């Protein structure tokens, strides 16, 4: 099965970021494809390399970057939501790219399921 995920919560705000990442990792481990993760609203904060959690805490941004590197998951940050929050190309973590809402629509068309995490 092919999935597109939409994440609309910040990485340390609620459980949505962790849950979305765990879902993606579990789906891939079971042989499914996670085609794209679309970061929307406050979810765009998952894409910034400026995140520095304490050493004993999980680094959610690095987890997403590793998912891209290891499995080729397309990590798309909504341009409008990013710009509203001061996130531009120069602060993106490795593997993320900024694009428009059309990428979410495209993912929904090309995937079997679109799963939303966050409000």
Domains, the chain, with CATH or none? 2-117 (3.40.1260.10)
pLDDT at 68: 98
pTM for the model: 0.96
11 tagged catalytic:
no
pLDDT at 13: 87
Task: Classify residue 92 by its DSSP letter.
Answer: B
By the 10 Å C-beta count (0-12 exposed, 13-18 middle, 19+ buried), 75 is classed as: buried
Express each pLDDT in 97-114 by its tens digit.
Answer: 999 999 999 999 999 999
Per-residue pLDDT band for 77 (boundaries 50, 70, 90) equals very high
pLDDT at 47: 98
As a whole-number percent, the residues of the chain with pLDDT over 70 amount to 100
pLDDT at 56: 87
Crossing angle of helices 16-29 and 60-71, in 10° steps, is 20
The per-residue pLDDT of the chain, averaged, comes to 97
Residue 119: pLDDT over 90? no
Q: Which of 47, 60, 76, 78 is catalytic?
A: 78
Higher pLDDT, 6 or 55: 6
Rounded-to-integer distance, Cα 103 and Cα 31, Å: 23
Q: For the chain, give me the number of helices (H) and strands (E)?
A: 4, 5
Residue 78: pLDDT over 90? yes
- Average pLDDT of the residues in 83-99: 97
């Amino acid at each position: 099965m092919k999935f597109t995920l939409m994440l609309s919560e910040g990485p340390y705000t609620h459980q949505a970021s962790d849950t979305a990442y765990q879902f993606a990792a579990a789906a891939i481990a079971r042989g499914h494809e996670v085609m794209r993760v679309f970061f929307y609203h406050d979810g765009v904060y998952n894409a910034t390399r400026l995140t520095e959690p304490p050493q004993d805490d999980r680094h959610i941004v690095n987890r997403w970057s590793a998912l891209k590197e290891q499995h080729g998951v397309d990590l798309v940050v909504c341009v409008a939501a990013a710009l509203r929050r001061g996130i531009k190309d120069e602060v993106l973590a490795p593997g993320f790219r900024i694009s428009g809402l059309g990428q979410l629509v495209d993912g929904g068309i090309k995937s079997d399921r679109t799963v939303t995490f966050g409000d």
